[in-house]
Every structure is written in C-alpha cells, then in structure tokens.
C-alpha cells in the first residue's frame, strides 16, 4: 500500500534533576540484603473472557459503563479535551446504524470505506459496521488519490465515510467512482445533495426512527463467522492484499489479551497509532471498550508529549521507533542534567527493592513519569523487533513493558507478553486461542513461524490462490523467522523475504544487524541488505544504508561536518559492531542516506521500495 514518510518529531523534555531522592525512606534500606531474599512470582494466567462477537461487547459495555467517559478528544486545536460518554457513543452508533440500514437502505453486505485521522467519527463509523450495518473497510488516510480510488473500487464500496481533512481528496476521485452511493462527511450537517451527505444528517434520520420505536438495527443478529472487515495490508514486502476478518477473529483478540493482562475501567489508553491498522483498531479501541476503559486521542505525533501530560493515560500502544525515540530523548535530558550515574544507581536500588515487594519506582522516577503524564502503567510495543535494552529500561523505571506479535492476517494478535511473566526481548507467548510452531528449524532452532489461531483471517479477498499459498492445513505461514525457548516464549529474528543468502549457504537476517546498529548513538535509522555491486557478482555485499543522527553528531563532534567526515565517523562505529558479528555477517559497505526512509503507517521501512531505487 501507500509509502509514508513518517518522521518522529524532535521531542523535548526538561532536564531531569532527580531532586529529593534522599528523602524517600525506602532508598536507605539495605537493598543488597533484600536482594538475596527474592521471592518467585506467581505466574498464573487470568480467567479469560468468552466473547463471540464485537456486538456482544458493545451492548454490554455501553450499558454497564453508560455514564462513564469513553472517548477523550480535542476537537478544537486551541481548546480543551472533550469527554464523550459510553451512553453518547451507544446512541450515535445505534442512530447511525438505523439511519444507514433503514433510511438509506444499506444491507449488511455492502462495503463501507472509512478514511480519516483518529477521531470520534471514525470510532462510531467502524463500530456501526461491526454491529450490522455493512462490511467495514478501514483505509490508510495517507493514500494518494490514485491508490484511494483503487482501494474503493477493489472493495466494491457503496459508502465512503471520511473526515473533513480528507474532503479535497474525496472530491478529486468522486467522479471516477460511479458505484459509490453515498459520500459521507464526518461532523457535517449537510443534507443529501447528489451523492454527498453529512454524517450528522444520517444520525439524525436514524434517531427519528429509533425514537418512533424502530429497533431493527440493534436486533440485527451477528454471525461470528461472517465477513465483517476488509483490511488491505501495508505491503512491506509485496503488493497489498485484502484481508477478510470476521467478528470471531476480533472477539478472540479480546479474550486472548484478558488471559495475559489485567485491565480496569480506570485505565486510559493513549491513541497515537493509525486506526486503520488492526493493532490500533483492535487492541487500542475494541479492547478498552470491552473493559470500560477510556481512550485519549492524540492530536498527532508532534503533540505526543503535551497530550500525554494533558490526558494522563495509563496505557500506550506503540511501535519500536516511537519507544526508542522516547528512550533516547529522556536519557538525553538525564545526561544534560548530569544525573546519568544517579539514575543508573537508583535503577539498581529500586530493582532490588522490588524483588521483595517494595516498589518505590514511581517516587524515585517521578520526574520521568510526569513527562509521560504521571500515570503510565504499561507500554506495549509491536509491529517490529525492538532493542531489548530499551524494553529493559522501560521496566527499570517502573513502567510495565509488554510486547506483542501478530499480523493483519491474525487480526492481529498471535503472541503477547503475559504481565505476570515478562521477558524483555521476546515477542511473547502464543495467546490462548493460538498454536505457534517453528517450521523446519535450523541448528539454532530458527525457522518460519507457523500459526494456527481462532484469530486467523477468513482468507485474502478475491484471491484464493494467495490464500492457499500461505494457509496450509489450517497453519498460516507467516514469513517471519523465529525461535522459541523452553518456556514457549517466541523470539523473532528476521523476515524470510529479507534474508540474505551467502554463496556458501549461510543465512543472514538483516534485522539482527539492524538492532545492533540501532544502539549506535550516531545512527538515527538504518537498513541492512545484500547489494550486488556488479552485474555478474554472485556474492552479495552486506550493506548498511544509514540516516545519521545529526543532532547527536553535532553534540559529540562539532558543527559543519563534511559528508566525508560523517561517513568516516559512522564507519568507525560500524567496525566496532562488526567485531561482535560472525565474519560472514560483517558489514562491508556503508551508504549515507540524506532523506527519510519510506515507511508503512506502523513505521516499518518499505524495503522493496528502497531497493527499487537501486534498480
């Protein structure tokens, strides 16, 4: 799908001063003695929920938590965050569903494209489809006009619901989409004119019907196996495919997470990842709704820090690039405050105390907490491998760090870290509704991840051949390379389509080397690949394509560095990394990249697009 140049903004944190630590009584305990008295954790799985459909969750939660806040959003950029209750959400969904199915005669097989930024209108539209108004087609808001037109045509959509920010692009493609019955703008009161209509108008029409006694929409029965969501993959290694998801797939995600992580109605999720992606729409939306939690909608990447402080969330779903940048910026502020040694010492002290049930991390690292809103309880990282050092640091400052693994095809969860048995560096254990096996493992136990799960897709949309290529006897062949430890924890080491094969048959997984390069301060981002230097070369040259961290380099080496000097500095760092690698994995060539990598919306580098530039 669309290539997106997502750039993480330059977060700013004040200097961390660590004042008043000496006044915390627990700090003065003999922690070395306590460390020897470590007790084993109870690693018992929680009792899971047993939902069959999302409508079941919707009806239960909007009744039980009726008067509680659900969506928290800043509709006016200069205004305050507004609170929308579960009751209001329920009414809007039922009214929109009634309006679409009765006033505008949509049947439950018609496709509803939803495109826009994370916003209340998106949540309402998606839930309306899941509860019986049609088949939801969440679409990447960054698609250019030609690709948006293609997706709408491929999905055979009859309704397109869009946010006001997407109005111009919708107008651009409208005339080329004769099969679309209605173009519906969120937050608009416009009456039907041609094919254009405001979402509020449809909700109002539905409300009139509901108030007159029409309960047809809420009575729609949902078959758990029925095709209800069509999601086009981001296509990091190939062209996008349409993934068909049913209610059972989504509901089983909720059941699976409930067995590994305890959530409460007092929790507040921070929504920063795009909702068209299954990770955010399922775990960042449907999951908090199921437990009565609230969702704070981030205004955009550059507003992450102020929005965290304003909304004070307890949970954040993230991708590695985001977590790593928060880690780097916070540690940079600690370093500037001259407190690195003190922070490291206090991590050791608080870790020792925690082993005997004394947790003072929130007191000791209060300044860091405040910069993240003050209430952050856990961060979940998924979509790509992350440097274990970063995850360990998150745990060390007292925030639970969980990792998940899955794909759009598994809607998305296949493995998750249990909160009662965290293993930083692992992608987690197979969730309770999934079996995972390593197919044809090598001498190191590494092989392709095969998944059999209740969350597994119905298949690829109008592409039975592609479905049969990846699903064999109920096992989904993920294309990811991993090994499992003796306790059943999964460790992703690479992607089979990215593997570099040497002439003597050795496999090199770029992700392993990229994680090592990611620890180099002078490197902001990198991509490792095998480059054919000459047309007849049979051996590929291991090459690192690197974006330098110019801010860090200026800080360490001074201003006005030449291209040659930058290359020289980074090459010296690469030589250090090479010494830690087996000889055949060593990087032989360095390319300095001056522009951004092309990425998916979950910030994974589009390797095949990058490599096309060389052809």
- Residues 460, 241: contact at Cβ < 8 Å? yes
Which residue stretches of 355-387 are H helix? Answer: 361-364, 366-371
Mean predicted confidence (pLDDT) in 435-455: 94
Beta strands in 279-433 (DSSP E): 294-297, 315-318, 378-381, 400-406, 413-416, 429-430
Task: Output the pTM of the full model.
Answer: 0.83
- Looking at residue 396, its pLDDT comes to 95
237 pLDDT tier (thresholds 50, 70, 90): very low
* Contact of 51 with 259, CB cutoff 8 Å: no
DSSP-assigned letter for residue 605 = B
pLDDT, average across residues 328-357 = 90
| pLDDT at 75 > cutoff 60 | yes
Phi/psi of residue 240, nearest 5 degrees:
-65, 145
Whether the pLDDT of residue 20 is over 80: the answer is no
Which residue ranges form the domains of the chain, and what is each CATH number? 54-66+79-222 (3.40.50.12780), 499-612 (3.30.300.30)
What is the overall mean pLDDT for the chain? 90
Q: What is the mean pLDDT of residues 151-175?
A: 96
pLDDT by residue (tens digit) across 245-258?
999 999 999 999 99
Picking from 89, 168, 81, 79, the residue whose alpha carbon sits closest to that of residue 125 is: 89
CA distances (Å), origin 158, targets 111, 135, 181, 541:
6, 10, 5, 50
């Amino acid at each position: 799908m669309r290539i997106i140049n997502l750039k993480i903004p330059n977060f700013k944190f004040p200097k961390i001063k660590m004042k008043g630590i000496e006044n915390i009584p627990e700090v003065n305990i003999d922690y070395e003695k306590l460390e020897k008295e470590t007790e084993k954790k109870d690693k018992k799985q929680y009792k899971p929920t047993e939902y069959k459909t999302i409508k079941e969750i919707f009806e239960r939660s909007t009744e039980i938590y009726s008067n509680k806040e659900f969506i928290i959003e800043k509709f006016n950029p200069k205004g305050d965050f507004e609170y929308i209750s579960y009751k209001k959400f329920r009414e809007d969904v039922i009214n929109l569903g009634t309006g679409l199915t009765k006033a505008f005669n949509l049947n439950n097989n018609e496709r509803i494209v939803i495109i826009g930024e994370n916003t209340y209108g998106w949540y309402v539209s998606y839930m309306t489809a899941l509860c019986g108004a049609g088949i939801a087609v969440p679409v990447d808001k960054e698609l250019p006009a030609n690709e948006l037109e293609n997706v709408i045509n491929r999905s055979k959509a009859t309704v397109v619901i869009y946010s006001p920010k997407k109005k111009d692009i919708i107008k651009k493609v409208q005339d080329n989409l004769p099969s679309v019955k209605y173009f519906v703008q969120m937050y608009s009161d416009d009456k039907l004119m041609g094919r254009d209509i405001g979402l509020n108008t449809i909700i109002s029409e539905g409300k009139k019907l509901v108030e007159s006694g029409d309960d047809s929409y809420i009575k729609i029965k949902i078959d758990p196996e029925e095709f209800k969501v069509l999601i086009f993959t981001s296509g990091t290694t190939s062209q996008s495919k349409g993934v068909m998801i049913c209610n059972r797939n989504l509901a089983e995600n909720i059941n699976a997470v409930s067995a590994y992580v305890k959530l409460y109605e007092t929790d507040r999720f921070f929504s920063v990842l795009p909702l068209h992606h299954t990770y955010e729409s399922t775990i960042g939306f449907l999951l908090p709704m199921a437990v009565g939690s609230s969702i704070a909608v981030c205004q955009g990447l550059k507003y992450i820090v102020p929005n965290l402080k304003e909304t004070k969330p307890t949970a954040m779903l993230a991708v590695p690039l985001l977590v790593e940048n928060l880690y780097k910026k916070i540690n940079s502020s600690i370093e500037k405050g001259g407190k690195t040694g003190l922070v490291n010492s206090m991590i050791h002290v608080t870790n020792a105390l925690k082993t005997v049930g004394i947790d003072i991390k929130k007191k000791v690292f209060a300044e860091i907490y405040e910069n993240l809103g003050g209430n952050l309880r856990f961060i979940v990282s998924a979509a790509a491998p992350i440097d274990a050092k970063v995850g360990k640091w998150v745990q060390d400052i007292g925030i639970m760090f969980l990792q998940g693994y899955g794909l759009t095809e598994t809607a998305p969860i296949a493995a998750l870290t249990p909160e009662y048995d965290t293993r930083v560096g692992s992608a987690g254990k197979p969730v309770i509704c999934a079996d995972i096996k390593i197919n044809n493992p090598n001498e190191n136990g590494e092989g392709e991840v095969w998944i059999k799960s209740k969350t597994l897709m119905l298949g690829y949309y109008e592409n039975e051949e592609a479905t049969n290529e990846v699903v064999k006897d109920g096992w989904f062949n993920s294309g990811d390379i991993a090994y499992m430890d003796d306790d059943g924890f999964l460790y992703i080491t690479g992607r089979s389509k990215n593997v570099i094969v040497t002439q003597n048959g050795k496999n090199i997984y770029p992700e392993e080397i990229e994680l090592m390069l990611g620890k180099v301060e002078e490197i902001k981002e990198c991509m490792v690949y095998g480059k054919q230097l000459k047309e007849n070369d049979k051996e590929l040259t291991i090459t690192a394509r690197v974006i330098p961290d110019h801010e860090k380099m200026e800080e360490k080496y001074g201003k006005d560095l030449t291209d040659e000097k930058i290359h020289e500095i980074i090459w010296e760092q690469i030589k250090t990394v090479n010494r830690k690698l087996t000889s055949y994995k060593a990087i032989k060539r360095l390319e300095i990249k001056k522009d951004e990598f092309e990425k998916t919306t979950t910030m994974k580098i589009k390797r095949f697009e990058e490599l096309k530039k060389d052809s």
